[in-house]
Amino acid sequence: MNFLKRFSVLSVMMLVAVTMMAQELPKVYILATGGTIAGSGSSATKSNYSAGQVAIGTLLDAVPAINDVAYVEGEQVVNIGSQDMSDDVWLVLAKRVNELIASQKVNGIVITHGTDTMEETAFFLSLVTDSNIPIVLVGAMRPSTAISADGPVNLYNAVVTAASPASMGRGVLVCMNGKVYGAADVTKTNTTSVETFQSPNSGALGYIHNGEVFYYHAPDRVGRKFVDHVHEGTLFNEVRTPYFNIDGLKSLPKVGIAYGYSSVEGDVVDMMIDKHYKGIVYAGVGNGNIHKNVFPELEKARKDGIIVVRSSRVPTGATTLDAEVDDNKYEFVASWGLNPQKARILLMLALTKTDDWKTIQKYFNNY
Ligand code: ASP
């Protein structure tokens, strides 16, 4: 009898201790959106599979070690392949992220996402959230049914990253294949490899080892502080990371991308003029150069009030202001370090505030 009594007191104490430990763990909230990390295939060795099949609960069950790192809760926002990502889903997702931030109940947020457009969602969120808590995007290159699926370890590493105080104030992050990247610079560079994510201009911010995140450096483009820098004699002192309040927004202005190549013709742009796009990003050759067949159409677009941003199809380097193209003369905007898909996002958000090309150029000067 005595033994039984002591045993039940002991179990209650253990239960209290376990509950207290769980309460002391950082709280990480997972927003699931689909992608290959939630993909399932008919074979463990073949590459054909469908993205966005498995719910977040199942993904978490596959990685029990996560419960040692953080107290994790989550919800499914959508369950799609990220090739189908849209402005509408971005607005829903970002508003949910902002609600979680405002609740002050979470220490970090992890977003599971397909890899195809992960860099875009990360960059979008970096412009419309204003918080020091880590917001970490994660995905997988192999479906959950594959041999050596990379989803479980990536998810674990993402939770480690989101739970760590070392990740505070580093902006929106992408955590893939054991490394951490900043939203503005990261890009998908390989169609199938697990080491596909890279920040070609600035490198990874850090790495995860044995359940701990280590940082080499902070991303440059974080925080709302004024930072002066001089480029070719011009002093840039705008707000470093622009912030756009999306609370009242139901949709985003229409902005499209036209791709440059030899023999390209003006009709790649005409469609967007005819359909009243508000902005056009031209993924030019080299330093954002524009074919002579397209140049007059872009001039026409600008005269019609459309904002034209020059970016580049070249994967590294920046599209610099007034290089081979006299941007000031044509009222074109140079995208600097943003690739065309990220330039489109900044342009859409900038257009929610202004249609003045000079002001819009100032937003881009920060990249
Ligand atoms: N098509 C998938 C997606 O982006 C690819 C992936 O997740 O790796 O959703």
Residue extents of the structural domains in the chain: 23-235, 255-365
Q: What is the pLDDT of residues 321-354, one digit of tens each?
A: 999 999 999 999 999 999 999 999 999 999 999 9
State if residue 53 touches ligand 1 by the CB under 6 angstroms criterion: no
Mutational pocket test of ligand 1: of 84, 111, 115, the residue with most ligand atoms within 8 Å of the beta carbon: 115
Query: Residue 329's closest CA among 310, 345, 342?
Result: 310
Q: What is the pLDDT of residues 51-75, one digit of tens each?
A: 677 788 888 888 999 999 999 999 9
Q: How far is the CA of 61 from the centre of ligand 1 (A)?
A: 21
Alpha-carbon span 8 to 4, nearest angstrom: 6
Q: How far is the CA of 272 from the centre of ligand 1 (A)?
A: 27
Q: How far is the CA of 83 from the centre of ligand 1 (A)?
A: 7
Alpha-carbon span 340 to 338, nearest angstrom: 6
Atom of ligand 1 nearest to the CA of 117: 4
Residue 234's DSSP bridge partners are 231
Residue-level pLDDT at 37: 86
Q: How far is the CA of 295 from the centre of ligand 1 (A)?
A: 35
Is 112 a catalytic site residue? no
Residue-level pLDDT at 133: 94
Where does residue 262 rank: exposed (0-12), middle (13-18), buried (19+ CB within 10 A)? Answer: exposed
Mutational pocket test of ligand 1: of 77, 82, 86, 119, the residue with most ligand atoms within 8 Å of the beta carbon: 82
| Residue 100, C-beta contacts closer than 8 angstroms, at least 6 positions apart | 29, 106, 109
Which pTM was predicted?
0.89
Pick the CATH number of 23-235 from 2.30.30.110, 3.40.50.1170, 3.40.50.300, 3.40.640.10: 3.40.50.1170
Active-site residue among 36, 121, 187, 320? 36
- Residue 225 · residue 366 · CB < 8 Å: no
Residue-level pLDDT at 36: 84
State if residue 121 touches ligand 1 by the CB under 6 angstroms criterion: no
Query: Residue 93's closest CA among 76, 74, 77, 115?
Result: 77
pLDDT in tens, the chain (367 residues): 455 555 455 555 555 444 545 558 999 999 999 988 876 666 666 666 676 777 888 888 889 999 999 999 999 999 999 999 999 999 999 999 999 999 999 999 999 999 999 999 999 999 999 888 999 999 999 988 888 999 999 999 999 999 999 999 899 999 999 999 999 999 999 999 999 999 999 899 999 999 999 999 877 665 444 445 555 665 555 545 678 999 999 999 999 999 999 999 999 999 999 999 999 999 999 999 999 999 999 999 999 999 999 999 999 999 999 999 999 999 999 999 999 999 999 999 999 999 999 999 989 988 8
CATH number for the domain formed by residue range(s) 255-365:
3.40.50.40
How is residue 177 written in tokens? 């294949």
Given its phi and psi angles, is residue 167 left (phi above 0), alpha (psi -120 to 50 degrees) or beta? alpha
State if residue 345 touches ligand 1 by the CB under 6 angstroms criterion: no
Alpha-carbon span 87 to 347, nearest angstrom: 13
Residue-level pLDDT at 1: 45
Residue-level pLDDT at 7: 46
| Residue 287, C-beta contacts closer than 8 angstroms, at least 6 positions apart | 312, 314, 317, 319, 320, 323, 324
Alpha-carbon span 338 to 309, nearest angstrom: 11
DSSP annotation of 245 reads -
